[in-house]
Amino acid sequence: MNFHLIYPEFLLIGLAFLVLMLDFFLSEKKKYLLNWVSTLGMAFILGIALFMNQQGDLYQGLLIIDGYASFFRIFFLAIGIVVTLISRDYVDSNISNPGEYYAILIFTILASISLASSGELLTAYVSLEILSFGLYVLVAYDRYNPASNEGGVKFILLGAFSSALILYGLSQTYGLIGTTRFNEIAVLLNSMENISIGMVVGFVLILAGIAFKLAAIPFHMWAPDAYEGAPIPITAWLSVCSKVAIVALAIRFFTNGIFPLAPDWQPILIVLAVLTMIGGNLLALVQKNMKRLLAYSSIGHAGYLLMGLATLVGVSDEGIVSKELTHLVSNGLIFHMVAYGATNFAIFFCLIIVYNSTGREDIQGLSGLASRQPLVALVMVCSLFSLAGMPVFAGFTSKFYLFNAVASQGFLLLVGVGIIASLISLYYYLTVARYLYIEKISDNSMIYVSFNSKLILIALLMFMILGGVYPSPLMDLIQTATDSILKID
């Protein structure tokens, strides 16, 4: 067996257990070291992952380590480091038992990586469950806080429900086709004369499960409460990692597996995308709590991602499926996720900083931030504009790229809806910007920003701006990643 392909994953498991073990031996005062251990450990693994370029399959194609998987491995490790870094102050001051916190976080990173590299439905399901269970615990981590408990319970119940949907769809598929490997599914579907209704039901159930995990409307009910209740770094993690992991899986599954069925699933996803984009952004308009607002904003962003997923392959009027533009769309999707991820971390980190000093997470609590902490306000306003899709930030360029790709696939009207949705979103982003820069200070408590936090803020800001004005190195990486799953054969 060529286990060397997944050394980074083994190391991650080792790191998680190391953190758990260390937690036993460290006194309360030394627990802050756990953060350093996790960060440095992940940085070390990231370093290894950067230099690994072997490719191949494991367990007869259950796990596929190709350029695509390596890209997401690097991506998840990088955002894992970011989320560990931004958790530091929050965990130190708000959370007991940091050992489990970091260990579970590392397990979710591992799960996301294996989700992106799974080439088969059951592996994907197991990875998804590891990810979800980690997130259930993390959301409810603040256990003396009723909101956290409420969010956690909702998340677990609905999450379990959606997992059951996926599992049922999966068994249906396996029963009718006899395989769960993506590429075999594609071959079988292509050779079939007519597709039985049971098979379509199976795939629709899987799609519904994916929509649940992405918090697409009308499957979004769990999201706002879970986001609001979770500790802020976990909200950030939830809004980025789980979405990106699901979409990474979906891109592989759709383009390598069920693309022959595109005429059937495309309309469903388009409807979901429209509902999610418009609904998420409209609901965000009335929010008073920053975490809730960002929850709805991230639902809106899930809508843009769904729009990309729906149009991964083109379907002509006669129902012929073409993959001519799949490359462009998947590049757009990944680019948008990277930009969205960096931006969301930036804005959540600003929230954490404010929360740590003032204990407030409502929009009012941010008023006059520009004169209290100019750097935090600057990063926050830049991320707001980036989320709204305004230049010079990554959000603009990635949104333009994604929308352009979707329109090239022949869905100009859908893009029109997306652009209108992002116009709606501008209103509430600007409202937050107004509190930051224009409103008078309502709360005079000091906001403390450590030197390290400043460095992280500046790094995230630089990334946002670079992604907007000089995206070609990033696009080259994404290009090599998608090349490996979209081989022309």
Q: Which amino acid is at 323?
A: K
Distance CA 129, CA 462 (A): 35
DSSP state of 364: G
Q: Minimal distance in Å, beta carbon 66 to another protein?
A: 18
Q: Using the rule CB under 8 A, is 71 a contact of another protein?
A: no
Binding mask 329-368 for another protein (x = CB under 8 A): --x-------------------------------------
Single out the segment in contact with another protein by CB under 8 A; choices: 130-138, 159-167, 352-360, 469-477.
469-477
How many other β-carbons are positioned within 10 Å of the β-carbon of residue 81?
Answer: 19
Read off the amino acid at residue 346. A
Nearest CB to another protein, comparing residues 241 and 312? 312
Spatial separation of the C-alpha atoms in residues 25 and 110, rounded to whole Å: 25
What is the rounded CA–CA span in Å between residue 404 and residue 329? 9
Q: Which stretch binds another protein (CB under 8 A): 12-20, 161-169, 194-202, 468-476?
A: 468-476
Using CA atoms, how far residue 141 sits from 133, 322, 379, in Å, is 12, 46, 28
Contact between 328 and another protein by CB under 8 A: the answer reads yes
A 10 A CB-CB count for 95 gives: 18
Residue 22 binds to another protein (criterion: CB under 8 A): no
SS3 (DSSP) at 64: strand
* 67 contacts another protein (rule: CB under 8 A): no
Q: Which one of residues 416, 441, 448, 450 is an interface residue with another protein (CB under 8 A)?
A: 416
The reply to whether 282 sits near another protein by the rule CB under 8 A is no
Would you say 261 and 195 are in contact if contact means Cβ atoms under 8 Å apart? yes
Give yes or no for a cis peptide into 471 (omega within 30° of 0).
Answer: no
Please identify, among the stretches 31-39, 160-168, 203-211, 394-402, the one whose residues bind another protein according to the rule CB under 8 A. 394-402
Tokens coding 137: 């615990």
The pair phi, psi for residue 37, each rounded to 5°, is -60, -45
404 binds another protein (CB under 8 A): yes
Pattern 424-443, another protein, x by CB under 8 A: --xx--x--xx--xx-----
Q: Going by C-beta distance under 8 Å and a sequence separation of 6 or more, which residues neighbour residue 479? A: 331
* Residue 43 or 282 having the CB closest to another protein: 282
277, 283 contact by CB (below 8 A): no
* From 17, 324, 458, 462, residue interacting with another protein (rule: CB under 8 A): 324
Smaller CB separation from another protein, 276 or 425 = 425
Q: Element (H or E) spanning 57, and its range?
A: strand 56-58
- The binder of another protein chosen from 145, 171, 479, 480 (CB under 8 A): 479
Q: Does 391 bind another protein (CB under 8 A)?
A: yes
The reply to whether 320 sits near another protein by the rule CB under 8 A is: no
In the bound complex, what is the minimum distance in angstroms from residue 307's beta carbon to another protein? 13
Q: Which stretch binds another protein (CB under 8 A): 153-161, 342-350, 360-368, 409-417?
A: 409-417
- Pick between residue 17 and residue 427 the one whose CB is nearest to another protein: 427
Task: Find the shortest distance in angstroms from Cβ 403 to another protein.
Answer: 6
Cβ closest to another protein, residue 249 vs residue 415: 415
Q: Cα 423 from chain centroid?
A: 22
Stretch that binds another protein, among 89-97, 107-115, 171-179, 390-398 (CB under 8 A): 390-398
Least gap, CB of 55 to another protein (angstroms): 21
E strand or H helix that includes residue 65 = strand 63-65
Instruction: Using alpha carbons, select from 489, 484, 488, 486 the residue that is nearest to residue 67.
Output: 484
408 binds another protein (CB under 8 A): yes
Asked if 375 touches another protein (CB under 8 A), the answer is no
394, 471 in Cβ contact below 8 A? yes
Cis ω before 392 (30° cut-off from 0): yes
**By CB under 8 A, is residue 420 in contact with another protein?**
yes
Q: Is the dihedral of CA 296, 300, 306, 308 positive or negative?
A: negative
CA distance 155 to 284: 20
Residues that bind another protein (CB under 8 A): 324-325, 327-328, 331, 370-371, 374, 381, 385, 390-392, 396, 400-401, 403-404, 407-408, 410, 412, 415-416, 419-420, 423, 426-427, 430, 433-434, 437-438, 471-472, 475, 479
